[in-house]
Amino acid sequence: MKSILITGAAGFLGSHLCDRFIREGYRVLGMDNLITGDLKNIEHLFSHPQFTFYRHDVTNFVHVPGPLDYILHFASPASPIDYLKIPIQTLKVGSMGTLRLLGLAKAKSARILVASTSEVYGDPLEHPQTESYWGNVNPIGPRGVYDEAKRFQEAVTMAYHRFHGVETRIARIFNTYGPRMRLNDGRVLPAFIGQVLRGEDLSVFGDGSQTRSFCFVDDLIEGIFKLLMSDYYQPVNLGNPNEISIMDFARELIALTGSNQKIIQKDLPVDDPKQRQPDISLAKKLLAWKPLVKRADGLKITYEYFKSIPEKDWYNKAHNFEKYIKR
């Protein structure tokens, strides 16, 4: 039985990756310090014989017993509300945490895939964004703690590949949505859904002309799996190129949910990207991958998921799984 370590396992993407690799028959070692992750996302796995969870901060020395075939490094705050609140931890997990896991991959002769982001392109001057674009990033702006942490992560990953021969993969992930997102994580989709559920008007920053491209989580997980199993070590964009303005997206969500909220406009945050659209030509060619879930279908699934959660649990994290945690 092959084994895989997934950091950030209690987070949005990490928990879905745990599910996928359990289904594929792997021994899954989940790791998370729970600074933004939630054990409720993986509670259904605690009784599974192939799943083990470690509560651990990967900026400290990382040790797992036995052989290890793969590592997925998904430990990091991933939304502005998080990395603006914990900027130092964000920088540390992208730098020190990545170094720890690359060292572990080298010691275990394991293949490692790191979760990079479309934020490495900053506020892009190229549209759509291709992997060859170097980006337009403000390194000292408030978002720089996340952008530059991920850019360093990519650089050190390539250094370990070139100097130590470590098998590495880099996924540049664009906006992704689906069940298990946090309503209060600050990203536009859960923010809008949270406002709909609370009966509040939808807040659009600026004039709403800025664009995003939303990929449903099931599609992204498939792309990550294919990239991990590929022979390609350079960065690969993973996302949905179906672009929409934030204003149109707000209107679309109001129509979908049948709510009667109004749209109000607020000041645009500093360094907020004006455009986001991945060029996924490389993923199509190398991985035979492209998103399949239509936005209307994915939004309906996501909205129904949040509607199914009792209001008292919208923002409460779980704390009653201590017996399942290893340290």
Q: Which residues are catalytic?
A: 146
CA distance 182 to 321: 19
DSSP H or E run through 301? helix 295-308
Helices (H), 137-206: 144-164, 188-198
Nearest residue to 302 via CA among 9, 77, 16: 16
Nearest residue to 6 via CA among 39, 37, 24, 28: 28
CA distance 240 to 211: 12
- CA distance from start to end of the chain: 23
Tokens 């990550």 appear where? 224
Nearest residue to 110 via CA among 62, 70, 161: 70
CA distance 26 to 87: 34
Q: What are phi and psi of 181, to 5 degrees?
A: -65, 160
197, amino acid identity:
L
Tokens of 82: 């998080």
Task: Answer for the pair 196, 256: CB distance below 8 angstroms, yes or no.
Answer: no
Tokens of 177: 């949505």
Task: Answer for the pair 287, 113: CB distance below 8 angstroms, yes or no.
Answer: no
